[in-house]
Amino acid sequence: MKAIQIHAIGDFDVVQEVELPVPVPQAGQVLVKIAAIGVNYIENYYRDGRYPAKLPFTLGMEASGTVAEVGKGVTGFAPGDRVVSAAVMGAYAEYALVPAAQLVHVPQALGLQQAAAVFLQGLTAHYLARSTFALQPGHVALVHAAAGGVGLLLTQMASQCGARVIATVSTQAKAELARAAGADEVILYTETDFVAATRELTGGRGVDVVYDSVGKTTFAGSMDCLRPRGMLALYGASSGAVPPFDPILLNTKGSLFLTRPTLAHYVQTREELEWRAGEVLQSVAGNKLALRMEHSYPLADARQALMDIASRRTTGKLLLLP
């Protein structure tokens, strides 16, 4: 089978297509014939060494497809079932193994490409809006990168929770996408100081929560946008890692809360995974959650997809198709 691996840490040229044997499911595992693969920022973190990986390493963690074979002890899944997961072991491939405990069925009303496009980012948006800081009517949220994959979903969910959403984007075109997703106000951070604009929009009070996937270039400003005892949910670092800082800064900025959440800690039980996945997938199937899927690539073009997502020139979800 074809797969996309890195054999060294480095620039985009380390991303290579290789031939590998089709894996065999062990106890508790399911072999999935991949139909669509979600491209995520985290794949570049493995490529450039920000996240450690044992080399050679097959990229990817999010994919949909059909069950090809089940390992010993697996129940609830059978060959031919339509499935999706954000815990695929090497999703950039024609076949991949998935722990059965991290696999869910795709509703019949939903296409496999849609399932792959929404799963990881949809679950991320869900835990941010529903659990990390559980949004309620009256809350004010600042969403950075609001026209990105998670950003568009998070903006929709936040709006549906009754929160007032202030979005930051880089261009007028992305501003229109954020507004269409439910943002009440949009700040073009390339033209306006987002801290000053946020303070003005909130009458000087600040927002209840900042959802920040950008990291290095926005982190300090994000803290300055918060009300006293507000929360900064730092869930990504597309501009680079946040520099070390003295936690006393949280005190001087208003007794702020800072969290660096990750999906694994919000789907620790089967019940929680099924709750989040069910709400996200059914919302897309029922047209309550809109997807933006304008970029898809053949598996062989994975390097270009990773370059495009790193450039932040794209909007919505990027897919690889084996």
CATH of the domain at 157: 3.40.50.720
**60, 137, 138, 311, 317 from 308: Cα distances, Å:** 16, 36, 37, 5, 11
Is position 235 within any domain? yes
Is position 177 within any domain? yes
Dihedral pair phi/psi, residue 245, rounded to 5°: -150, 160
Which residues are CB-contacts of 79 (< 8 A; sequence separation ≥ 6)?
66, 67, 68, 69, 70
Q: Which residue has the tokens 């946040």?
A: 242
Is position 270 within any domain? no
At 187 the pLDDT is: 98
| C-beta of residue 194 within 8 angstroms of C-beta of residue 171 | no
At 162 the pLDDT is: 98
Q: Which long-range contacts (CB under 8 A, 24 or more apart) does 155-159 make?
A: 155/181, 155/182, 155/183, 156/125, 156/181, 156/182, 156/289, 156/290, 157/125, 157/126, 157/129, 157/130, 157/289, 158/129, 158/182, 159/183, 159/184
Q: Do 205 and 314 share a domain, yes or no? A: no
At 66 the pLDDT is: 98
Which residues are CB-contacts of 45 (< 8 A; sequence separation ≥ 6)?
51
Q: Do 145 and 111 share a domain, yes or no? A: no
Q: Do 149 and 194 share a domain, yes or no? A: yes
Q: Do 131 and 115 share a domain, yes or no? A: no
Distance from C-alpha of 110 to C-alpha of 123, rounded to nearest angstrom: 16
Q: Do 37 and 50 share a domain, yes or no? A: yes
- CATH code, domain with 79: 3.90.180.10
| C-beta of residue 202 within 8 angstroms of C-beta of residue 175 | no
* Number of domains making up the chain: 2
Is position 268 within any domain? no
Q: Do 98 and 180 share a domain, yes or no? A: no
Is position 148 within any domain? yes
Structural domain of 197: 121-263
| C-beta of residue 108 within 8 angstroms of C-beta of residue 65 | no
At 149 the pLDDT is: 86
At 170 the pLDDT is: 92
Average pLDDT per block of 10 residues along the chain, 322 residues long: 97 97 98 97 91 94 98 97 96 98 96 97 97 98 93 97 97 95 96 97 98 96 98 91 94 98 95 97 96 91 94 82 97
Q: Do 80 and 212 share a domain, yes or no? A: no
